[in-house]
Every structure is written in C-alpha cells, then in structure tokens.
Amino acid sequence: STAKRDFHEGVVYQIYIKSFYDTDGDGAGDLPGITSRLDYLDRLGVDYLWLTPFYPSPQRDNGYDVADYCAVDSNYGTMDDFDELVAAASDRGMGIMLDMVLCHTSTQHEWFQRALAGDERFRRYYILRDGRGSTGAGDPGEPPTNWKCLFGESAWEWEPRLGKWYLHLHDVSQPDLDWTNPEVRERLADVVRFWKARGVAGFRFDVVNLISKPEVFVDDIEGLGRRMFADGPHVHEYLKELVERTDIGDMVTVGEMAATTLENCVRYTRPSEHELSMTFSFHHLKVDYKDGRKWELMPADIGRLRDILHTWQEGMQAGGGWNALFWDNHDQPRAITRFGGREAVGERGGSWEKVGKMLAVCDHLMQGTPYIYQGDELGMTNPGYTSIEQFDDVESLSYYNIMLDAGKTVEEALHVVNERSRDNCRTPMQWTAGERAGFTTGIPWLTVPASAEKVNADAEVGVEGSMFEFYRALVRLRHEDAVVSRGAVHFLGAGATADKVIAFERTLGEERLVVVCSFDEGRCTVSTDGLALEGYARLLGNYDDEPVCDGGVLALRPYEAVVYRR
Ligand code: TEU
C-alpha cells in the first residue's frame, strides 16, 4: 500500500487491533474491524496505520509473543482479510505499517520448540548459558547474571529440556533471539521480505535497540538496568544489514528504542546511515517516575519534560536525525490523565478538553512525525478501574504482586497500577455512547470505561470544537504548512518561560510560528521577552479567544496552548 505522503509531512495512527473494532462478537477487535472503520480514519486524515501484532500467538503479551511471524492469528482474521485491508487503505491513500517483533519469539514458536526437542541448529537461535556455580549437567546453579527482565523478575529462566538458562529480556515466554547467529538474521530478513511482498508501506521494529547483547555477560553492579543491553555493540551493523537485505530503505520505518541515547538515535535515523526513518525514545515519558522507577509515583516534573524535549528536538535536528512524536502508545497510561490528573480531567468535566488539546498542540507542532494512538483523538482517559481483576497486562500483574510482596497494601498497589498500567491505553475504542461503547456485541476483553458515555466518536466526529475535529485540523495543518513539517525547531529558553510552560518556535525562510503550551492547572504568566511576539496573531489555540498579552506579559489560562504566526 502506498500512502499519499512522505513521512516527513505525514501523520501515523497507531491501531491496537485487539481494542479497535470487533466484527465477530468475540469481544476482541479484528482486521475486518479496521477495514470497516477506514472512513473514520480517512476523515481524521492520517497517512499511515501502524498495526500492533496480529500474528499467531499465545497472547501472554498480547501478540508481542509471536509464535509464527508469517501468518494471521485466527482471532484477528485471515490472510485474505489482511490483503483486503491493505488494498482498501491504499485506495484511500493510507499505507500500512507492520510491527516486527524480531528481538524475541514466543516459547511457542517452532524454533524454540525445536530447540527444546534438542535440535542443535535451533538451540543456536537463542541465548543459552550455564548457571553460575553449576556443578555440571542437570545442575542449574544460579542465574548467569543478575539482570532483571523488563517485566520485573530475573531475565534468565532455567529450562531442564535445554539443560541451560535462556535469556528473556521481557516475559519468561519471550526468549531472546541470538542475533550473532547469521542464520537467525537471515530468517528474520525473510519475515520482513514476506510482509513487504504483501504490499505494506513500512514497519515498526519492536525494541530493536536490544537485539545486540553485550560481548561479555557481567552483573549489573552500576545500576545501569536496561543500559546494560541497550544499543549494543553490533546494533547499527545489524540494522544496516537488515535494511539492505530486505531493500526497505525507501519505506517508512520506525524503531522502538528502550533506554537509548540521543547519539544513537541520530545514528539510527540520519539518512546517510541507511538504518531507519525515525525512532521512538521514552525519556520524556519518565518525568513522573520517582528515581526513574516506573512503579513509584511522583507528579510530572514539567521543567524536566521541557529539558528533555528541548534536548531531543534540537539534538536530533543538529545531527540530521528524525523523531517520532508521541505521548501515548499501547504501553503508556493516557497522557491526558497523566498530565491533567484524574480529578482535573474527570470524565469530560474539569480541564479534560483543555489538557487534551494542549497536549495535541505540543506534539503536533514539534519537528518529527506525530503518532496518534487510537482514542487520543477522542480524548480517551485512563479507565480508573476499581479491582485488580479488571487488569489483564502481564507487566501490571507482575508488578502488582511485587508491590504486595514488598509490603504495600492492596489499595496502595491498586492505586499504582491504576496510574501506571499499560491497560490504561488498551481499553476498547469508544465509538458510541451505547452499550459496550459500540466496540463489540460480545463481552469486551477489557472493561469499557465509564467515560464512553460522553467521550466517543459519535459525539465528536463532525462536531465543531470537538477533540476529534481539533486533531483533524492539526493533521491538516501539517499536511498543508511546510513550516510545521519541514521547519527548523528552536526552544525558547527556560528563563523566558514559567515553571510549567513549554515554548518553542518553528521557522522556515520568512515563516515563523511560536508555540506556547502551559502544563499548569492554574493561571500563570510568561514574559514575552524571549518569545518575540510583536506583530504576531493567533493561528490556533484551545480557548475561544486569545490570551491577554499586555506590557510584555502573556497571561495563560489553565492548560492553555496557543500558536502564533507572523
Ligand atoms: O515494549 C518494549 C518495552 O520496553 C516495554 O517493555 C516498556 O518498557 C514497558 O512497556 C514500559 O513499562 C515493546 C512493546 O511495545 C510492548 O508492548 C511489548 O510488551 C514489549 O516490547 C515486548 O515485545
């Protein structure tokens, strides 16, 4: 499928298939569900649709545990459904991007099963090690290193049928592949070729900066955590090889980079390197992690958020790289709740609309390619579940138990899970105010949030001033305005702005836009000194009228976002 627009000028929409639209009443979304909603996406105006994994999988990690890379899980439809979707999207000028989970397989994958059966060739597909202090065959000893997997416990699992420990950076059912084995790299290139031949426009590569492990496995004594295995020694070489072998250099590609660095992301995305079109990095979404720990709560530090965006926007620009812009994806709580607060946001009360639109302005006006995660365009919020039974995610359940073991009460642990769970973004898409939000006729796999009554597509599409129409206008702005897509970015000094305000400019030739976003729940003022706003008029904003600007002081209302143009 070919999208009508180059990724520099386009917008990507992420579809978490399981929660998008269900056509067969099994309570989970499917491929025909996407095809049936293409008019909605076309109206929003997006150019690319990134689909999360729909390959056969035991679903321990909702499809990121792949059992067969080149087929469609029957829960999601058939290969014909897939081909139909590609063609129908293409008719509307939308390209399909597929999620390639090449760092690990499921333990159910044939390769791992053959390794378990003792086939030496397939044992070499995975990362197997002897235990520490093992006295020989059959004695596990201790795990080879003290590494923790990203979902909590040890990254090593003893497997008697292998007579070894295997490495899993994610769930125990997701053994990491050994990319030092050339045969593995060739087989994974086959996967990319397979889907490319079916007409997709591009790929998203899951945790692709974790594919190259350290040369020597030693304990993490410096508290490096993920940095122990992020951006490993051969990662750039492997990526170049994959891109060249599969000839995807002209397609749109994005790499998900866990715990990465700016320097590496410049290298991943600078066109002359022939690696990727752009990268997701996550530093800006850790500003509410206490001491860097996801499962310890802290209010978002907006000064830090500004510093990180500043560094990444200007740093990627200086290095000739390209950012993927996003607040939300299927691994994050909803940004609107996160930055607005549960009370402030409420269920379409309080500052809900202001926060949602302000975040949208901030994201869509930066330099890079914006990603809209399904439901963001409606202003969907965290569901505020009341019982742990309502959660499904393997990571949430793992940490819930870890927190209980560490002495937290059920209420405390539930509170943290409510703030941080990946399920927050995975709730069913809110299509209507009707039963089950119009998502399914069956029993939804995750509880539909109460907010669906008010926050839904029916209530917003075509309604002036709605969140949906606001997003639609931002997409159009990027399509039509070169200063938004191609302009240079420059952050307007921290000194010039208030504590909770982020301001930057975009320039192209004579054109200049100034973007001011307040993350403050109250009113605040900003000196216009650093903004140079003389002779400027408001282009767009999230209040009906302009903020008062008088005597060199700009008075911003709660969560106000405003874009000025000369
Ligand atoms: O996520 C990678 C990743 O680093 C996440 O584990 C992230 O750290 C976590 O969600 C934040 O707490 C990707 C996929 O997006 C995710 O859905 C998968 O579970 C994971 O890889 C394994 O494939």
Note the ipTM here.
Answer: 0.94
Confidence class for position 223, pLDDT limits 50, 70, 90: confident
Distance of CA 216 to the CA centre of its chain: 30
| Cα 183 to Cα 370: distance, rounded to the nearest angstrom | 36
Q: Does residue 5 belong to any structural domain of this protein? A: no
- Indicate whether residue 353 lines ligand 1 (CB < 6 A): no
Catalytic residues: 206, 256
Confidence class for position 530, pLDDT limits 50, 70, 90: confident
Q: Does residue 440 belong to any structural domain of this protein? A: no
Other C-beta atoms within 10 Å of 180: how many? 16
Q: Does residue 91 belong to any structural domain of this protein? A: yes
Q: Is the predicted pLDDT of residue 367 greater than 70, yes or no?
A: yes
Residue 209 alpha carbon to ligand 1 centre in Å: 12
> Beta partners for 101?
none
Q: Does residue 93 belong to any structural domain of this protein? A: yes
* DSSP secondary structure, 464-482, as one string: TT-HHHHHHHHHHHHHH-H
| Cα 182 to Cα 99: distance, rounded to the nearest angstrom | 22
Q: Is the predicted pLDDT of residue 344 greater than 70, yes or no?
A: no
Distance of CA 311 to the CA centre of its chain: 20
Angle between helices 235-246 and 262-269 (to 10 degrees): 20
Residue 547 is part of a domain; what is its CATH number? 2.60.40.1180
- Same domain, residue pair 227 and 202: yes
Q: Is the predicted pLDDT of residue 75 greater than 70, yes or no?
A: yes
Task: Tell me the percentage of the chain whose pLDDT exceeds 70.
Answer: 98
- Same domain, residue pair 379 and 246: yes
- Indicate whether residue 168 lines ligand 1 (CB < 6 A): no
Quick one: average pLDDT of 104-132? 98
| Cα 115 to Cα 207: distance, rounded to the nearest angstrom | 23
**pLDDT tens for residues 42-68?**
999 999 999 999 999 999 999 999 999
Q: Is the predicted pLDDT of residue 346 greater than 80, yes or no?
A: no
- Indicate whether residue 150 lines ligand 1 (CB < 6 A): yes
Residue 257 alpha carbon to ligand 1 centre in Å: 10
Q: Is the predicted pLDDT of residue 494 greater than 80, yes or no?
A: no
Other C-beta atoms within 10 Å of 416: how many? 18
Q: Does residue 252 belong to any structural domain of this protein? A: yes
- Same domain, residue pair 355 and 407: no
Would strands 369-373 and 324-325 be described as parallel, antiparallel, or unpaired? parallel
Q: Does residue 417 belong to any structural domain of this protein? A: yes
Q: Atom 4 of ligand 1 has which residue's CA nearest to it?
A: 258
Residue 43 burial (10 A CB sphere; 0-12, 13-18, 19+): middle
Classified as helix, coil or strand, 415 is helix
Least confident of 383-387, 447-451, 527-531: 527-531
| Cα 428 to Cα 444: distance, rounded to the nearest angstrom | 7
| Cα 420 to Cα 341: distance, rounded to the nearest angstrom | 13
Quick one: average pLDDT of 20-31? 98
**Tokens 């742990």 label which residue?**
388
- Same domain, residue pair 300 and 356: yes
- Indicate whether residue 171 lines ligand 1 (CB < 6 A): no
Q: Does residue 176 belong to any structural domain of this protein? A: no
Quick one: average pLDDT of 551-563? 94
- Indicate whether residue 207 lines ligand 1 (CB < 6 A): yes
Residue 138 is part of a domain; what is its CATH number? 3.90.400.10
Quick one: average pLDDT of 189-206? 98
- Same domain, residue pair 148 and 215: no
State the pLDDT at residue 26: 97
Q: What share of the chain is helix, strand, coil (3-state, %, to 5)?
A: 35, 20, 50
Nearest residue to 330 (alpha-carbon basis) of 365, 296, 280, 368: 280
Nearest residue to 404 (alpha-carbon basis) of 417, 391, 420: 417
- Same domain, residue pair 348 and 400: no
Phi, psi of 237 (to 5 degrees): -60, -45
Give the helix ranges, DSSP H, for 247-393.
262-269, 302-319, 335-340, 342-345, 352-364
Asked whether 431 and 439 are in contact (CB, 8 A), the reply is: yes
Quote the tokens at residue 143: 């795990």
Q: Taking all residues of the chain, what is their mean pLDDT, rounded to a whole number?
A: 95
- Same domain, residue pair 88 and 231: yes
> Beta partners for 506?
489, 513
Residue 331 alpha carbon to ligand 1 centre in Å: 6
State the pLDDT at residue 2: 63
Full residue range of the structural domain in which residue 401 is found = 390-421
Residue 399 alpha carbon to ligand 1 centre in Å: 14
Residue 161 burial (10 A CB sphere; 0-12, 13-18, 19+): exposed
What is the DSSP code (8-state) at residue 177? B
For residue 246, give the H/E element and its range.
helix 235-246
- Same domain, residue pair 413 and 342: no
Q: How many structural domains are present in the chain?
A: 4
Q: Is the predicted pLDDT of residue 247 greater than 70, yes or no?
A: yes
- Same domain, residue pair 185 and 301: yes
Residue 212 is part of a domain; what is its CATH number? 3.20.20.80
Classified as helix, coil or strand, 237 is helix
State the pLDDT at residue 493: 72
Amino acid at 265: C
State the pLDDT at residue 47: 98
- Same domain, residue pair 403 and 515: no
| Cα 17 to Cα 20: distance, rounded to the nearest angstrom | 5
By most ligand atoms within 8 Å of CB, the mutation choice from 52, 150, 422 for ligand 1 is 150
pTM assigned to the model: 0.97
Q: Does residue 2 belong to any structural domain of this protein? A: no
Quote the tokens at residue 549: 């600007």
- Same domain, residue pair 320 and 361: yes
- Same domain, residue pair 198 and 301: yes
Amino acid at 154: S
- Indicate whether residue 357 lines ligand 1 (CB < 6 A): no
